[in-house]
C-alpha cells in the first residue's frame, strides 16, 4: 500500500509539473506574440509617417516651382501627388493614392485650405475651403495642407502644416489703386508696400481706396 501511495504521489507531481510547464510556455508565447504584433504595428506606423512626409516634401517642391499650381487647386478636396511625363514634374491629381508595401495597402491623400488672418494683428485665425474670410483677410501667400495616411482597418496617421509662397514666387499684394495710372507697377513684395498706382486703365474709377469701379 505504501508503494502505491508513493507511485500515486510521483504521478501527481509529474502532472502538476507538466501543467506548470504548459502554463509557462503559453504565457511566453503570448508575450512573444504581443511583442511581435507591437513591433509590426510600430513598423507600419513608421512607414505611414514616412509616406506622409514624402507627400509633404513633394508639395513643398511643387510650391517652390509654381505656387499657383497648388494655390489654384480646389480646397477641401482629396489630392495625391503623381508624376507627369512631359514635362517631367510632380502634379497633384484629385483622388487618393494606394501604395502597397510588404503586402500592406496604405492609402494616402492631402487636402489644401485657404488661410484667413486677423485684419488687425495678421495672426492666422482659421482655415477655409472658400475664398470668403468674412471680416478677416484671405492670405494669398499661405495654405494649410492636411495629410492623412490610412492602413489596415482603422489605423491612420495625420497632421497639418502650413505652406508659404517661396521668395522666388512672391508677388506684390496691392489692394489700393487710388494713386492713378501712369506711375508703373512693382513686382517685388517689399518694394510695393503701400503701392497705389498702376500702368494704365480704361473706363474704370479708382478714386475709392480698396475699390475699383467700372465707369
**Angle, CA of 138, 140 and 142, to the nearest 5°:** 100
pTM above 0.85, yes or no: no
What backbone phi and psi angles, to 5 degrees, belong to 16? -65, -40
pLDDT (tens digit, 9 = 90+) per residue, 34-88?
A: 444 544 556 888 999 999 999 999 999 888 888 888 888 999 999 999 988 888 8
pLDDT at position 192 over 90? no
Instruction: Report in angstroms the alpha-carbon separations of 147 from 24, 107, 140, 159, 169.
Output: 45, 11, 20, 6, 24
pLDDT at position 188 over 50? no
What pLDDT is attached to residue 15?
A: 72
pLDDT (tens digit, 9 = 90+) per residue, 118-157?
A: 888 888 899 888 878 888 888 888 999 999 999 987 789 9
Buried b (16+ CB within 10 A) or exposed e, 2-20: eeeeeeeeeeeeeeeeeee
Q: How confident is the model at residue 109 (pLDDT cuts 50, 70, 90)?
A: very high
Sign of CA dihedral 182, 188, 190, 193: positive
Distance of alpha carbon 212 from alpha carbon 174, whole angstroms: 12
Amino acid at each position: 500500500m505504501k508503494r502505491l501511495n508513493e507511485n500515486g504521489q510521483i504521478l501527481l507531481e509529474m502532472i502538476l509539473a507538466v501543467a506548470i510547464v504548459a502554463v509557462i510556455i503559453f504565457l511566453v508565447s503570448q508575450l512573444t506574440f504581443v511583442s511581435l504584433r507591437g513591433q509590426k504595428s510600430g513598423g507600419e506606423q513608421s512607414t505611414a509617417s514616412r509616406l506622409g512626409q514624402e507627400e509633404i516634401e513633394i508639395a513643398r517642391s511643387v510650391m517652390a516651382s509654381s505656387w499657383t499650381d497648388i494655390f489654384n487647386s480646389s480646397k477641401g478636396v482629396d489630392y495625391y501627388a503623381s508624376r507627369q511625363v512631359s514635362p517631367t514634374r510632380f502634379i497633384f491629381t484629385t483622388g487618393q493614392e494606394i501604395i502597397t508595401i510588404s503586402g500592406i495597402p496604405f492609402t494616402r491623400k492631402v487636402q489644401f485650405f485657404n488661410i484667413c488672418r486677423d485684419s488687425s494683428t495678421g495672426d492666422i485665425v482659421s482655415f477655409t475651403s472658400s475664398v470668403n474670410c468674412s471680416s478677416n483677410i484671405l492670405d494669398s501667400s499661405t495654405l494649410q495642407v492636411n495629410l492623412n495616411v490610412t492602413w489596415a482597418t482603422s489605423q491612420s496617421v495625420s497632421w497639418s502644416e502650413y505652406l508659404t509662397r517661396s521668395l522666388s514666387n512672391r508677388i506684390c499684394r496691392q489692394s489700393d489703386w487710388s494713386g492713378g495710372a501712369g506711375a508703373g507697377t512693382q513686382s517685388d513684395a517689399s518694394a510695393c508696400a503701400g503701392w497705389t498706382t498702376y500702368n494704365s486703365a480704361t473706363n474704370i474709377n479708382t478714386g475709392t481706396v480698396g475699390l475699383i469701379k467700372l465707369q
